Amino acid sequence: MLSDPKLVVTDAFGLRNTAITSGPPGDDAEALPAPATLLLDRNGKVLWMDVSEDYQRRSDPSVVLAAMREHFDAL
Amino acid sequence: MAMKSGTKLGIAALAIALGTTVLWFRMTGTVGLPDSRAGFVVAWIGAIGLGIFAFVRGTSIPGALAPLLGVVVSSFLLFTVYISPQTIDAAKSIKVGDTIPHFTAPDGHGETFDSASLNGHLVLIKFFRAHW
């Protein structure tokens, strides 16, 4: 588990939540990443991703497992 | 001494607020929230309305605690529902087919993780809010 308090990695991936819960530009106190899951191949290429449009509703683990079977089993 | 009618309403408001909230956390704990949270919203608004009505009807001083808690708990949970939508900048976000950027980040043991170590491995990355 890694830490990203200033959202440097989150911003590199473009996954900063820009909705109401984010603070004003320049103020990271309220900034958060959008909940997201990514599957990568052995070269770091994104095979599948799921970004929650709502932090209270995220993909069921079975959805992620199905994606892993679909994309990882073939590799 | 007979309980004031407002106090009874306040207890009902708190019961609705707490019961709805317990159900809410049980469902979120199993990633089982329904697509529509309208039922929860209606219940919390109902608890707030009942709590306010309890004060209008009159409560004892200790009896005011129940409706007050019911209103506070319901209001907070409603606020969390209101702020739950997430939006990312589609122009900036990584997409399927992109290669992830190189990055480093500290782990929980004070060590620095380098994404180059992922090369050659199939990887699952999760972004989420937490703190330690």
Read off the pLDDT of residues A32-55 as tens digits, 9 standing for 90 and up.
Answer: 888 899 999 999 999 999 988 776
Q: List Cα–Cα distances, A46 to A41, A43, B78, in angstroms.
A: 7, 9, 36
Interface residue A55 vs chain B (CB under 8 A): yes
Q: Does B29 touch chain A (CB under 8 A)?
A: no
**pLDDT 10s digits, B43-101:** 999 999 999 999 888 888 888 899 999 999 999 999 888 877 777 888 889 999 999 99
- Span B38-50, pLDDT tens digits: 999 999 999 999 9
- Is the predicted pLDDT of residue B9 greater than 70, yes or no? yes
* Distance separating alpha carbons of residues B87 and A16, to the nearest angstrom: 8
Distance to chain A for B78, nearest Cα, Å: 12
- Domain-wise residue ranges, chain B: 5-82
On chain B, the residues whose CB falls within 8 A of the CB of A40 are: 100, 118, 122-125
User: Which amino acid type is present at position B89?
Assistant: D
- B68-71 long-range CB contacts below 8 Å, 24 or more apart? B68/B10, B69/B14, B69/B17, B70/B10, B70/B13, B70/B14, B70/B15, B70/B16, B70/B17, B70/B18, B71/B13, B71/B17, B71/B47
| A55:B86 CB<8 A | yes
Mean pLDDT computed over B8-37: 86
